[in-house]
Structure 1
Amino acid sequence: MDFIKKQRRYSELVLGFLAFGIGQRLLGVGVWKPWAEDKGISLILGVIGAILFIGGAILLIRLLSWLLKNYNQENRVLKVLGISLVLSVAAGFIIGLLGQFLYDHTSISYTLAKNLIWVLSSLLQVTIKMTALYSLICFYQGREVVFRKKEFQRLLWLSLLLVGMILLFSLLLPQLADILLFMADSLLILGTVYIFVIREKENI
């Protein structure tokens, strides 16, 4: 309880991120769908998912509002979020076109093309995500954003390595892919904020 009171913003991030992600997955049921339908609890899981999703969204919006209010000098937070969104959409579109081109003009199978698109898209998305997160952390700490720093390069390579391993495992067990990627996302985002912000504060 002392940690939650002392690190209120980080606690909001953890609760909001986990509630939003879990709620999103319960709404779709996903890998649990056959089991939920067999037990007749699809509706219950959907309601719980909706509550978690809305609660998590509220916490994340509160956190974003606080971030914009205190650290959005020269609209830098909005710029980072906007650029990240545009890059994510553009990357998904370009990779999709690449996959379609390979499928139409080479002998690779549809499954291989789909998996290739998924892997490349996931690796690009995590690159964009961690770059944006590092930028926001620098804004919060009042530091200049320098992507040549070893701390950022280590963070990026570690993120790519972790997601790459998860993707490889997910190709073997595709039914667990969504859950595994959510766990990797949670570990990377919440762990990065903890190491760069919370632990650094405690060591001062």
Structure 2
Amino acid sequence: MIIIENKLISDDVIDHAFVCDLSKCKGGCCEEGDAGAPLTKEELDLVDEYYPTIKPYLTKAAVKQIEKKGKYQYDEEFGWVTPTLPSDNEICVYAYREPDGLIKCAFEQAYNEGKISWKKPISCHLYPIIAYEGKHGDYERLNYEPRKRLCSPACALGESLQVPVYKFLKEPLVRKYGQEFYDVLDQIAKQGAAGSEE
């Protein structure tokens, strides 16, 4: 366990390798799971703000589901989450499938095209790291939780490229916790690697 301020980080974050292999998984994390993507309270406002911009990217079924269920919903276990489409393998309503089967995020696509300034929910951006808040919100646990079957190509690619989980996820880690947090994590990882070589 690594402790940085009030963050408890699993050793797996630096000990394991991971690089998304979209050609193999097709973005399946957007449709596999027990609920939609978790959203922070701040992100609810962003979903509201950017929905008109990303609506043209969505399927008719997704728009219909959003009009029926709302742009987000509350789940007893996960808190605020994006709705999903039961008729399409519980895919997130904000995702859409390309002809080749690749699943894309409407928010990320609009961001990449310069139409909005928010990339996507931080829970999606951080995956396969999942952040859990302590019961009283006074600390966070960061666990490495890839899906065994879906993410096996990403684990294999990460191993072959020798890219640790935390390095692959540098952008979202900095986005959520800041550059200083990432630099400390990187230093701890490097010290551990140097120690194992001695």
For the aligned pair, the TM-score class normalised by the smaller chain equals: under 0.3
Greater strand share, structure number: 2
Higher relative contact order (CA 8 A, sep 6+): 2
Larger Rg, first or second structure (1 or 2): 1
Greater helix share, structure number: 1
TM-score, length basis structure 1: 0.25
